[in-house]
Amino acid sequence: MAERPEDLNLPNAVITRIIKEALPDGVNVSKEARRAISQAASVFVLYATSCANNFAMKAKRKTLNAGDVLAAMEEMEFERFLEPLREALEVYKKGQKGKKVSEPKRKDKEKKVDTENNKSRAEEGEDDDERMEEEPEVENEAEEEEEVEN
């Protein structure tokens, strides 16, 4: 649960970088525009979560899975995202597999180490998000504290 309003925001530096990479070189982006895009991104997350959750509930699952998110994108009319998302997920899963082999500190009471098995596990409604010990490497570089731009 978000405890402070800032928790709903995404790091400004990362948002700025993503915007700059999307636009032609040298475009000046105002501070207000950057802030608006950042807030829009948070709203997007909530919207996507809400949509995806509807699909999960229809299937009587308590855990959101990849299929729910992809279905949500289609519902939200962002079909253009589907292919890049699927490709990125493939790469991500391969990367995760490699990591899991070398990391021994996995809690594996009833949970298998394989990502394939995790999919069926997830559908049983287990609390999967606690397994997110492995953040991608980008976490260390990209996560910055909120800059107070007032």
> With respect to other proteins, which residue has the nearer C-beta, 21 or 149?
21
Least CB distance to other proteins at residue 8 (A): 6
| Residue 46 or 102 with smaller CB distance to other proteins | 46
Place of tokens 């998110």: 69
Measured CA to CA, the distance from residue 115 to residue 120 in angstroms comes to 9
The token pair that represents 75 in the structure block: 């519902």
Residues 24 to 43 in contact with other proteins, rule: CB under 8 A: 24-30, 32-33, 36-37, 40-43
* 122 sits near other proteins (criterion: CB under 8 A): yes
Min. distance of Cβ 40 from other proteins in angstroms? 5
Binding mask 73-112 for other proteins (x = CB under 8 A): x--xxx-xx-xxx-xxx-xxx-xx----------------
Q: What angle, 0 to 180 degrees and rounded to 10, lies between the N-to-C axes of helices 82-102 and 115-122? A: 110
Burial of 18 (0-12, 13-18, 19+ CB in 10 A): middle
